[in-house]
Amino acid sequence: MIDMCFRLLGRINRKTWWKAQGMLLAAAGVLVGAATLIGESLPFPSVKGLGASELPVMTFVAFWLMFYPAFAVNVKRAHDRNRSAFYVGIISMLVVLLFSLQVTAMAGPHKFGLLQLLVIWLFSLGIWTVELGLLAGTDGPNGYGDAPV
């Protein structure tokens, strides 16, 4: 699993991708929970966010810690679909840009809320679910290696 989350080479099938997504989601939940508990006990102020509750600064750090492993897993799955890391990078950068705009907007006077953030994540989730989680990979070897077992 560590190799899958930190190397960008190779291919993985849909089943492996879904398992990795579940593990990454569980790890993110643990990190966010721990970051929230730690953030509440530290003396620095938390960032108002998500329109309903306080989201400690450390929670953002937890999300950034999960970004590269998620990116690596998505690249490996995209390789199975005969797509490059550039393809995953473009979509990931779009999501990061939208997320950054959302965070900036929440800090400003308009106070956008949970709905806008939810739309961004659903857009991202929809693209990844269809492209990487539902569509079959290329049969046999491709430019990124042999077919996953």
Would you say 7 and 143 are in contact if contact means Cβ atoms under 8 Å apart?
A: no
Distance CA 129, CA 64 (A): 21
Would you say 119 and 101 are in contact if contact means Cβ atoms under 8 Å apart?
A: no
What are the beta bridge partners of residue 47?
Answer: 55
| Range of the structural domain that residue 41 is part of | 2-134
For the chain, how many structural domains are there in total? 1
Asked if the structure places residue 147 within a domain, the reply is no
Distance CA 11, CA 77 (A): 6
Asked if the structure places residue 122 within a domain, the reply is yes
Asked if the structure places residue 72 within a domain, the reply is yes
pLDDT tens for each residue of the chain, 149 residues long: 788 889 999 999 999 999 999 998 898 888 877 877 776 676 655 555 444 345 555 666 777 788 899 999 999 999 999 999 999 999 888 777 776 776 666 666 555 555 666 677 677 778 888 999 999 999 999 999 999 98
User: Could you tell me which residues come within 8 angstroms of residue 16 by beta carbon, excluding any fewer than 6 positions away?
Assistant: 4, 148
Residue with tokens 């990931």: 92
Asked if the structure places residue 146 within a domain, the reply is no
Asked if the structure places residue 149 within a domain, the reply is no
**Which CB contacts under 8 angstroms, 24+ apart, belong to 97-100?**
98/123
Strand, helix or coil at 135? coil
Distance CA 77, CA 47 (A): 34
**Which amino acid, one-letter code, is at 131?**
E
Would you say 72 and 6 are in contact if contact means Cβ atoms under 8 Å apart?
A: yes
pLDDT at 98: 72
